[in-house]
A and B are shown apart, each in its own frame.
Chain A
Amino acid sequence: MAHSANADFKTRLQNWIPKLVLSPSVAMMLVFVYGFILFSVYLSFTDSRLLPSFGWVGLENYSKLWRLSHWEVSIKNMGIFAALYIVICTTIGLGLAIFLDQKIRGEGLLRPIYLYPMALSFIVTGTAWKWFLDPGIGLENVMHSWGWESFEFRWIKDRNYAIYTVVLAAVWQTSGFVMAMFLAGLRGIDNEILKAAQMDGASNWNLYRRIIIPQLRPAFLSAFVILSHLAIKTFDLVIALTGGGPGRATELPATFMYSYTFSRNQMGIGAASATIMLMTIAAIMIPYLYSELREKR
């Protein structure tokens, strides 16, 4: 009698152990991720300034936010930055992957060179490019000392061009990663189809345009999702490279949120901007993750 009760308890315990093991992670996730998201979204509807406060103001923070020229600049910059960053990274990544896929000697040496920037901190990247692009000591100064006196390259100091230096540094950091994604896709393509098409007299150009690149659709999708989410989260790079300047010329939503929340004591507006960032990423990530998880069933 006692024996069977004991065994019963043991089986029940065995049934519960997996859930018990998972529970700390689930609890942390529910509190620190989803609880916090709700809290921040709630704050975006309150009059919080230096500290969280719970006076309900409805959509006031949002309407204020969209009237701020500072936010307008951040959004415009985001548009320029994200578009160029995604397009250039994808182009370079695909190009390098196709070239590397031509039985290149030294591929084993080139691949790690293309990819190592991904292992670096954006602060390191920002520092290196900041001084390399600095007209006083960097490229411009070097060209002058090499005798090209009229050479001018001061984008990083120019309000109209500074955002492109952020694109340059960001492309430098991630295009190798995109290359790796496309290369993995290329290596997964069945050679038999290609050989058959070649027999039919298809040129290399047509082979890529008609057969290979269309088959890389999943890689394009992954690259787009990863790059757009990285673009929206870009923060450290701007801080290290330009500090958001000159003036506000390179402010992005992430830097806007940080300065409104922590230096300008406009927590309600900061929370509203964070909410908009989250919504944008959710609109891209949720369908993607949903389809990725569903496919496996």
Chain B
Amino acid sequence: MSVASQDTAIRTGRITRTLIYVVLILFALFYMLPLYVMLVNSVKPLSEITGGGMMNLPEEFTLEPWFKAWSSAQIGVEPTGLAPYFWNSIKMVVPAVAVSTVLGALNGYVLTKWRFKYDTILFGLMLFACFIPFQIVLIPMARMLGLMGLAGTTWGLALVHVVYGIGFTTLYFRNYYAVFPTELIRAAQIDGAGFFQIFWRILLPSSGPIAVVSIIWQFTNIWNDFLFGASFAGADSQPMTVALNNLVQASHGVKEYNVHFAGAILAATPTLLVYIVAGRYFVRGLMAGSVKG
């Protein structure tokens, strides 16, 4: 989106402006509230939380909940902490993001520069696939993963995320390449450059920004997925979100809220970091998925 601040014609009085600032700041506090609650409570002993001090800064600072959430909290039946699940998520996310982005780039290239009959219909079908409620594919997907010998594996999950991510990656690259001058492609063709040469030498070097958008979008979406993880992962391939939910919902023993909060931050850290470092591209991805590209 273009958010370059520009000259607004609206003029506002002093009182109105103050009111506007008050409202904007109140909302900022509302959005920060859960993050604040998670952060301060992840570094205090349990007794401070149960004693009514959820909103207070910690009296006694401790990193114990973090260590516990990472390496020794009870998840399911094993006291492994979230660490192994964190790596499960990484192992699932990296190949899924890479493959879906590469396929999206190639698809976008074909759909804009090598147009053929019915290509818009094909693209429409791919695009609609992004928005289906995934409940409609859960049952056959479980069967299919079983038939392919991928049931309960990280590879199986990665495959699922590639399949249902291609629509968005294709959308990004298609909209991006659509405005790339086709004359350059034709000129290269006349010079005898082939399909892949043109892609490699002409389009790819200028695809940096959209590749970042696609990678960030896919990374965030796949990392945050819960439905596929809960449906298709085996006990030792569960992603971080599923493990976090198991940690928080565990019905046995004392509820260690501070450990839950530390775990929640651990699960949120990768996507939050990406957002802090490259938020601009994340927002661009969000907008491209909703408003006209």
Contact = CB atoms under 8 A, between A and B. Distances in A.
A33 B223 contact: no
Nearest to A184: B1
Nearest to B143: A52
A33 B23 contact: no
Interface in B21-69: 21, 23-24, 27-28, 30-35, 37-38, 41, 49-55
A144 interface: yes
Interface string B99-139: 00001001101110010100010111111110111111111
A103 B226 contact: no
A115 B271 CA distance: 13
B79 to A, nearest CB: 20
A239 B226 contact: yes
Contact of A187 (B3, B129, B196, B290): B3
B133 A281 contact: yes
B136 A110 contact: no
Contacts of B28: 110, 113-114
B57 to A, nearest CB: 13
A274 B34 contact: no
Given A181-B290, A184-B3, A103 B107 contact: no
B53 A145 contact: yes
B166 interface: yes
B291 A222 contact: yes
Given A102-B20, A222-B290, A191 B135 contact: no
Contacts of A184: 1-3, 287, 291
A293 B223 contact: no
B249 interface: yes
Name the residue among B3, B9, B248 with the largest chain A CB count within 10 angstroms. B9
A43 B135 CA distance: 13
A139 B245 CA distance: 22
Given A127-B244, A138-B54, A207 B10 contact: yes
Interface string A31-57: 011111101110100000000100000
Nearest to A141: B52
B248 A127 contact: yes
A219 to B, nearest CB: 7
Interface stretch (B90-98, B201-209, B260-268): B260-268
B131 A285 contact: yes
Interface size class of B (residues with CB under 8 A): 35 or more
Interface string A214-246: 000011001101100100110110011001000
B244 A198 contact: no
Interface SS majority for chain B: helix
Interface string B271-288: 110110001001100110
A281 B106 contact: no
Contacts of B74: none
Given A100-B24, A128-B37, A119 B139 contact: no
Contacts of B14: none
15 contacts: A22-B111, A33-B163, A36-B141, A41-B136, A104-B20, A116-B272, A117-B34, A123-B241, A128-B38, A137-B49, A184-B3, A239-B226, A274-B139, A285-B128, A293-B120
Interface of B: 1-12, 17, 20-21, 23-24, 27-28, 30-35, 37-38, 41, 49-55, 103, 106-107, 109-111, 114, 116, 120, 122-129, 131-141, 143-144, 162-164, 166-167, 170, 178, 194-196, 220, 223-224, 226-227, 230-231, 241, 244-245, 248-249, 257, 260-261, 263-265, 267-268, 271-272, 274-275, 279, 282-283, 286-287, 290-292
Interface of A: 14, 17-19, 21-22, 24-26, 28-29, 32-37, 39-41, 43, 52, 92, 95-96, 99-104, 107, 110-125, 127-132, 136-139, 141-142, 144-146, 172, 176-177, 180-181, 183-184, 187-188, 191, 194-195, 198, 204, 207, 218-219, 222-223, 225-226, 229, 232-233, 235-236, 239-240, 243, 254, 257-258, 261-262, 267, 270-271, 273-275, 277-278, 281-282, 285-286, 289-290, 292-293, 295-296
